[in-house]
């Protein structure tokens, strides 16, 4: 019971810190998804272009990030951003040293990884839309933009959503990798608490319970979103 009291809220326990770490984990994952959707959408667009150079560039970037450990991507982004930003500052004769915020370095690294995998989901969803539906919409007098907005994109999201939600669940757990740059997300907070109190098991167990709770909520949200998208698709 004494060990469990260390998980309590307030000054006597680490409950507040663990909940804050969980909030940082969700915030980091959300920011990473925003970046990843932009990257994934751009890469998917390049992958369906008739130009072989553009397709080759997109597939090359995909291969690069798929073949690189995620741990290494985060480190390269974190230290690489520092080098790049400070080099630009020196080129502009600005006598100032800038350090990249750990949150945004982690979000960018995870977002790039998410985006690479999301691009394949978007590409598959785009190709899954039947050509007959596109031809039928155009035969009804819809312009290319109208067809894209009213037919192609809604159906694309319907096909892409299950894959994107699975990537979100993976990303939620991958946020723990950002601990390598000393960002205080859930796992690092649990590690610090365990080392401080010399009871790592109880704090890692608590962190595992919080990850499970976040995954369960996300899984429930996934089911509801998929249900709503399917309903919209039937109504259309």
pLDDT digits (tens, 9 = 90+) for 170-224: 999 999 999 999 899 999 999 999 998 888 899 999 999 999 999 999 988 888 8
Q: What's the mean per-residue pLDDT of the chain?
A: 87
Does 2 have pLDDT greater than 70? no
Alpha-carbon distance 192 to 198, whole Å? 10
The per-residue pLDDT for 230 is 61
Question: How many angstroms from the chain centroid is the CA of residue 131?
Answer: 31
pLDDT in tens, 146-178: 777 777 777 888 889 889 999 999 999 999 999
What was the pLDDT predicted at 1?
55
Average pLDDT rounded to a whole number, residues 59-71: 92
Instruction: CATH number for 22-235: choose from 1.20.1070.10, 3.40.50.1820, 3.60.20.10, 1.10.3720.10.
Output: 1.10.3720.10
pLDDT over 70 percentage in the chain: 95
Average pLDDT over residues 91-99: 79
Looking at per-residue confidence, does 134 or 113 come out higher? 113
Residue 116, pLDDT > 70, answer: yes
> What is the rounded average pLDDT of the residues 64-83?
91
Q: Domain spans of the chain?
A: 22-235
Contacts of 215 (CB under 8 A, 6+ apart): 169, 172, 173
Tally Cβ neighbours within 10 Å of residue 142.
16
**Residue 10's pLDDT band (cuts 50, 70, 90):** confident
Q: What pTM was computed for the model?
A: 0.87
> What local confidence, expressed as pLDDT, does residue 231 receive?
52
CA 24 – CA 134 distance, rounded (Å):
43
Tell me what the mean pLDDT of segment 94-106 comes to.
85
- Give me the mean pLDDT over the 137-148 stretch: 74
Tell me if 31 sits within 8 A of 24, measured CB to CB: no
- 201-209: Cβ within 8 A, 24+ apart: 202/3, 202/4, 202/6, 202/7, 203/6, 203/7, 203/14, 203/18, 206/7, 206/18, 207/18, 207/21
Q: What is the pLDDT of residue 229?
A: 64
11, pLDDT greater than 80: no
Cα gap 105→175, rounded to integer Å: 12
Average pLDDT over residues 54-79: 92
**Mean pLDDT, residues 26-51:** 94
């Amino acid at each position: 019971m004494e060990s469990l009291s260390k998980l309590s809220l307030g000054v006597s326990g680490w409950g507040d810190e663990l909940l804050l770490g969980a909030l940082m984990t969700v915030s980091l994952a959300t920011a990473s998804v925003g970046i990843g959707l932009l990257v994934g959408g751009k890469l998917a667009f390049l992958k369906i272009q008739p130009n072989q150079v553009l397709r080759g560039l997109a597939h090359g970037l995909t291969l690069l990030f798929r073949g690189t450990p995620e741990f290494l991507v985060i480190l390269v982004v974190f230290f690489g951003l520092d080098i790049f930003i400070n080099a630009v500052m020196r080129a502009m004769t600005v006598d100032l040293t800038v350090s990249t915020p750990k949150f945004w370095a982690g979000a960018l690294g995870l977002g790039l990884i998410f985006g690479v995998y999301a691009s394949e989901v978007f590409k598959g969803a785009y190709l899954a839309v039947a050509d007959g539906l596109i031809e039928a919409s155009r035969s009804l007098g819809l312009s290319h933009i109208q067809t894209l907005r009213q037919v192609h994109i809604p159906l694309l999201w319907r096909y892409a959503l299950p894959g994107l939600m699975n990537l979100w669940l993976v990303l939620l757990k991958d946020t723990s990798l950002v601990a390598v740059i000393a960002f205080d997300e859930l796992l690092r907070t649990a590690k610090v608490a365990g080392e401080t109190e010399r009871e790592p098991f109880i704090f890692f167990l608590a962190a595992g319970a919080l990850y499970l709770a976040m995954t369960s909520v996300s899984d429930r949200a996934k089911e509801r979103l998929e249900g709503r998208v399917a309903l919209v698709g039937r109504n259309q």
